[in-house]
Amino acid sequence: MTVPDDAKPVQNPLTLVMKIKSKKDAQALHQLLDRIQGLPPSENPIVAALTKIATVHFARFVFLNNDANLAVITSYDHSFEDYINDFVTEIGHVFDQLLSHMADAPPLPVREHREEFLAYVKANDIPSVGTFYSAYPQLTVLDILALSEED
């Protein structure tokens, strides 16, 4: 069954699963993410980027397969290319730090190798099974924020 374009959600899923080089790299990633995520929101570069970009509904990091993989799982608005480019612009340096611990990583820094990074993310994105569900399929992050200010 094909969903008409006007019925497709404006949100899209991303399940980026990256293979970690070694146990030592997994430990370094845990330390890096704990340090970044432990910062107050005003000092956390990931939170600052998510707030500024204003297209991401949800985002999280998850270690998988006994620390063999790191997943970045998000739901975002609109175009995949725009979404990835916004992140490269805002926090490319954070991706450089993460990717330095990944097997088969694209060339770094990602700001100088956007196309390669985009291809890497596409190649390591695990698509959803079946239809992507959204409780509010036509509302972007900006729409939801505007509606929440009306209350």
Residue 145 pLDDT greater than 50, yes or no: yes
- Beta strands 11-19; 69-77: pairing state: antiparallel
> pLDDT tens digits, residue range 33-42?
999 999 999 9
Q: Is 7 exposed, middle or buried (0-12, 13-18, 19+ CB in 10 A)?
A: exposed
Supply the DSSP string of 9-28, one letter for each residue. Answer: -SEEEEEEEEEBS-HHHHHH
In a domain, 2, yes or no: no
Residue partners of 138: CB distance under 8 A and separation at least 6: 9, 10
In a domain, 82, yes or no: yes
pLDDT for res 5: 56
d(Cα 77, Cα 151) in Å, to the nearest integer?
23
Residue 16 lies in a domain: yes
* Global pTM value: 0.91
The count of structural domains within the chain is 1
| Band (120; pLDDT cuts 50, 70, 90) | very high
Residue 138 inside a domain? The answer is: no
Q: Does some domain include residue 96?
A: yes
Average pLDDT in the 52-70 region? 97
SS3 (DSSP) at 69: strand
* pLDDT at position 52: 96
Mean pLDDT on 108-132: 96
Domain around 117: 9-129
Report the C-alpha gap between 77 and 148 in whole angstroms: 18
